[in-house]
């Protein structure tokens, strides 16, 4: 079965950093586009970042630009989300996802990870 497994979440103070990993297995994601999303309690799932499997064409929601960086390591079949200067409003469950299309929106993603909790205290 295709699996995306997130790890690296946890509790961090405001201003701190976390690096999330998304380990992919079960298929090859060459030519796919990977996305990061987050969902806080009572809120819609929100796009955070996207990147092609080959590491090109990254994109970010405005609120995380300059703070978050997504990258890939194809040899390890892993996608990363480096999160710096974390704010309490970044608190959410973070999900990685994959689509065979170039448009990265939640309703169009083909595969989802289970999510990892990120909590930023003030």
pLDDT tens profile 56-112: 999 999 999 999 999 999 999 999 999 999 999 999 999 999 999 989 999 999 999
CA-to-CA separations, 5 to 24, 69, 85, 113, in angstroms, rounded: 7, 19, 24, 5
Closest C-alpha to 81, from 31, 111, 105, 47: 47
Q: Which residues contact residue 44 at a Cβ distance below 8 angstroms, ignoring those fewer than 6 apart?
A: none
CA-to-CA separations, 83 to 16, 29, 42, 101, 103, in angstroms, rounded: 8, 23, 23, 25, 23
pLDDT tens profile 17-54: 999 999 999 999 999 999 999 999 999 999 999 999 99
């Amino acid at each position: 079965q295709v699996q995306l497994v997130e790890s690296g979440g946890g509790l961090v103070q405001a201003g701190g950093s976390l690096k999330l990993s998304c380990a992919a297995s079960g298929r090859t994601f060459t030519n796919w586009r990977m996305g990061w999303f987050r969902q806080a309690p009572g809120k819609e799932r929100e796009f955070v970042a996207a990147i092609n499997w080959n590491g090109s064409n990254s994109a970010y929601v405005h609120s995380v630009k300059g703070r978050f960086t997504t990258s890939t390591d194809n040899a390890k079949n892993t996608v990363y989300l480096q999160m710096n200067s974390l704010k309490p409003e970044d608190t959410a469950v973070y999900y990685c996802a994959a689509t065979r299309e170039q448009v990265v929106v939640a309703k169009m993603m083909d595969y989802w990870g289970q999510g990892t909790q990120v909590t930023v205290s003030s």
